[in-house]
Amino acid sequence: MRTSRFLSLAFLILAIPASLFAQFGVSITIAPPALPVYEQPIAPAEGYIWTPGYWASGDEGYFWVPGTWVMAPEPGLLWTPGYWGWGGNAYSWNDGYWGAQVGFYGGVNYGFGYGGVGYGGGYWNNGAFYYNRSVNNINVTNIHNVYNKTVINNTTYNHVSYNGGNGGVNARPSAAEETASHERHTPATSMQTQHVHAASTNHALLASVNRGRPAIAATAKPGEFSGRGVVGAKQAGAPYKATASKPSENKAAGNKAAENKAAATRPNENKAAANKAAATRTSENKTAENKAATTRTSENMAAANKAATTRTSKNRAENKAAGTRASENRAAKPNATRAPSASSKPTAARAQPARPAATAHAQPAPRQQAAPRPEARAEPARPATAAHAQPAPPRPAKEAPKTEERPRK
């Protein structure tokens, strides 16, 4: 499954026209330096095809990618070099590719068979590549498929490394080149990709350092930047202009603009963050206040309920104590009432007979002085007997005189 997906992706890439690869390249407003003057190293073996050097763009400006011999991905494929082209107020890099026909590469004269149109350095025949000795450095002892043919180079724009713009090559693709751009293509091999990466990390290959004359202008094989196969440049293709090889200045300007934009954006972001934080704090404070109010209400209700429960219990205890005292009072009251009556009753019975006896003996004296008639015999009063025979009922002491009896006539 994974292999089939990889193959599908590979076929999709191969089906993309070369003209569309430009959109994946970098863009810069300063033209690259001129192509340096150098010699081609000897071809290492049969099947290797020459890929010319060019100026690439990196973080520190333009750097030179040395020309090198590369093994073709498969027999029958030829290399179409990449090129810088002016368009949209900037220079854009158009990637190179492998194909059955050599397509448009901006009319740039890269040399060694790439004179600006097509490729005159060799051709495929029955799975073998034949080298044109007039433009290639071939050791005929090791490589026997050779021939000689004169190649016409575009000397009008000799050493110019870009198409269009100010001072660039004035060339447009032909009908054959347009047809070739729509054919099946194969991207650069992994060895070519590694070669470019190695060049980007080599400080000596920066145009600002070598001033258009790199010490490593070409190599016998990809990535081999030392040894007998390394060839240095004889001279720069044109007087070096420092401004022409410092695309990093544009990047710095772009970075400064981005920083200014970021600086202008930060106050808004900070203000938005502050507002958000303030809103969050307000919500948190409001939530905390509501929670505290709810807690206080719950605590007050709990305290009130507890106090009410305590008062109810206390009232019940007081009512119980009052009931107990009332019961005790009711139980003690009859005994206290009966006790004085029983003790005072015999005292009254003993005291009252004495008072009538004193009255019966005191009252008869005035009555004897008032009687004139002698015939009337006075009968002796019998107060004691009457007093003892008819005892007065128990009454209060002030009512005792009313019980006196008059003597009978």
Q: Which residue has the higher pLDDT, 26 or 255?
A: 26
Determine the pLDDT at residue 197: 97
CA distance 288 to 405: 105
How buried is 93 (Cβ within 10 angstroms: 0-12 exposed, 13-18 middle, 19+ buried)? buried
Residue at which a domain ends, from 309, 336, 363: 336
| Per-residue model confidence as pLDDT tens digits over 302-338 | 666 676 666 766 667 666 766 667 666 666 555 444 4
Amino acid letter, 373: R
Domain that holds residue 149: 11-243
Residues 78 and 115 in one domain: yes
pLDDT of residue 241 exceeding 90: no
Residues 261 and 233 in one domain: no
| Per-residue model confidence as pLDDT tens digits over 253-269 | 445 444 555 555 555 55
Amino acid letter, 8: S
pLDDT of residue 50 exceeding 60: yes
Least confident of 81-85, 330-334, 401-405: 401-405
Determine the pLDDT at residue 61: 94
- Residue 358 in any domain: the answer is no
Residues 225 and 289 in one domain: no
Paired sense of beta strands 83-86 and 185-186, if any = unpaired
Determine the pLDDT at residue 38: 97
CA distance 68 to 225: 10
Residues 214 and 259 in one domain: no
CA distance 321 to 323: 5
- Residue 207 in any domain: the answer is yes
Helix (H, G, I), strand (E, B) or coil at 22: helix
CA distance 139 to 146: 10
Residues 234 and 254 in one domain: no
E strand or H helix at 339, and its extent? helix 247-351
- Residue 402 in any domain: the answer is no
- Residue 4 in any domain: the answer is no
- DSSP letter for 52, please: -
Residue at which a domain ends, from 185, 211, 243: 243
Residue at which a domain ends, from 188, 220, 243: 243
Confidence of residue 126 (pLDDT cuts 50, 70, 90): very high
Residues 224 and 268 in one domain: no
Q: Contact at 8 Å (CB) between 96 and 105?
A: yes
| Assigned token pair, 32 | 């690259």
CA distance 346 to 14: 149
Amino acid letter, 270: N
Residues 212 and 252 in one domain: no
Q: Which residue has the higher pLDDT, 282 or 51?
A: 51
Determine the pLDDT at residue 342: 41
Report the residue count for the chain: 409
Count CB-CB contacts under 10 A for residue 88: 7
Q: How many domains, in total, are found in the chain?
A: 2
- Residue 232 in any domain: the answer is yes
Determine the pLDDT at residue 243: 55
pLDDT of residue 187 exceeding 90: yes
- Residue 131 in any domain: the answer is yes
Determine the pLDDT at residue 339: 44
Q: Which residue has the higher pLDDT, 189 or 28?
A: 189
Confidence of residue 246 (pLDDT cuts 50, 70, 90): very low
- Helices 354-362 and 247-351 pack at an angle, to 10 degrees, of 40
Cα separation values, 324 from 72, 316, 329, 336, Å: 122, 12, 9, 19
Q: What is the pTM of this model?
A: 0.56
Residues 199 and 121 in one domain: yes
Residues 139 and 266 in one domain: no
Residues 272 and 145 in one domain: no
Q: In angstroms, how far apart are the furthest CA atoms of the chain?
A: 220
Determine the pLDDT at residue 383: 46
Q: Which residue has the higher pLDDT, 369 or 194?
A: 194
- DSSP letter for 214, please: -
Determine the pLDDT at residue 396: 52
Taking the CA atoms of 292, 294, 300 and 303 in sequence, report the sign of the dihedral they define: negative
Mean of the pLDDT values across residues 94-102? 96
- Residue 28 in any domain: the answer is yes
Determine the pLDDT at residue 343: 41
- Residue 64 in any domain: the answer is yes
Share the mean pLDDT of the chain: 75
Residues 251 and 227 in one domain: no
Q: Which residue has the higher pLDDT, 373 or 176?
A: 176
Residues 191 and 253 in one domain: no
